[in-house]
Amino acid sequence: MAGERVHTLSPSAWNRYETCPRMYWLSRQKLPRKAGMAASLGTAVHASVEDLLQVDLTGRNSDETHWLPELAEKFLKQRWEEEKEVFFATPRRPMWKEKEWDKAKKMQRGAIKMLLEFIGVIGVTPLKTTIGMWRNLLSRVIAVEGELRTSDNRLMGRLDMLFADVDSNGELQGWVVADLKTGRAPSENLKPEVQRQLLLYRDILLSNNPNAPPVKTEGWYTENATRYTATG
């Protein structure tokens, strides 16, 4: 029908409906936003990692060390204060927990550890991470915080990070969708709803890029600095 509004479904909306149809319905009613400490913490960590993946290292010495911890904390503090401002501007909110700052720093360190391991840098602390190592990581970044949407506008999602997966010779082997998770890490396998979310991201990406290389989707959990691959 001409002029009919297309309904767009996201993984989070899908999971909400499966959990409770009424919860899903309420989420569509444009009710006043409710703030939450866990969500604010997660957003701050996500944003600070995205900042690190878009940092300009022009003119820096490749062998330079001792730069990453200070910059990482600077970005996190900026994002933390931004989230705090949004939190207090939200009428429906609990108490802000400043003590969660240490947890946010730990989560960010977990994310940095996974980023370094992704490029084969194992056992190197942020303090000893060189500019050259981080440049190598940045060269693998295809997209940061992007929207995925099918051509018919029926399915959509928010992409945290998209990386090029290369072999030891630098040859492209595929793409890796990395979804940063600041919640509780799975004891063994990904939860079905997370598995579905990640595979949906993969399928949207492939539908929009028919000539794309193989795509792998992973949940990157900051709690235990572990990557979990979605299969199916």
Q: What is the tens place of the pLDDT at every residue in 109-147?
A: 999 999 999 999 999 999 999 999 999 999 999 999 988
Domain boundaries along the sequence of the chain:
37-136, 142-229
Instruction: Report the C-alpha gap between 135 and 143 in whole angstroms.
Output: 15
User: Could you tell me the pTM of the whole model?
Assistant: 0.89
C-alpha to C-alpha distance for 45 and 53, rounded to whole angstroms: 13
Position 118 scores a pLDDT of 97
The total number of residues shown for the chain amounts to: 232
pLDDT of residue 9: 67
Q: Looking at domain 142-229, which of 3.30.70, 3.90.25, 3.40.1350, 1.10.1660 is its CATH number?
A: 3.40.1350
Buried b (16+ CB within 10 A) or exposed e, 163-190: beeeeeeeeeeebbbbbbbbeebbeeeb
Q: Are 157 and 131 in contact (CB under 8 A)?
A: no
Taking only the tens place, the pLDDT of each residue in 44-66 is: 999 999 999 999 999 999 999 99
Are the C-beta atoms of 198 and 190 separated by less than 8 Å? yes
157 against 140, higher pLDDT: 140
Query: What confidence score (pLDDT) does residue 112 get?
Result: 98
Nearby residues of 151 by Cβ (< 8 Å), 6 or more positions away: 207, 208
- State whether residue 157 is helix, strand or coil: strand
Please, where are the H alpha helices in 5-162?
Answer: 11-19, 21-27, 37-52, 68-88, 101-118, 131-139
Task: Provide the 3-class DSSP secondary structure of residue 145.
Answer: strand
User: Could you read off the pLDDT of 63-108 as tens digits, one per residue?
Assistant: 999 999 999 999 999 999 999 999 999 987 899 999 999 999 999 9
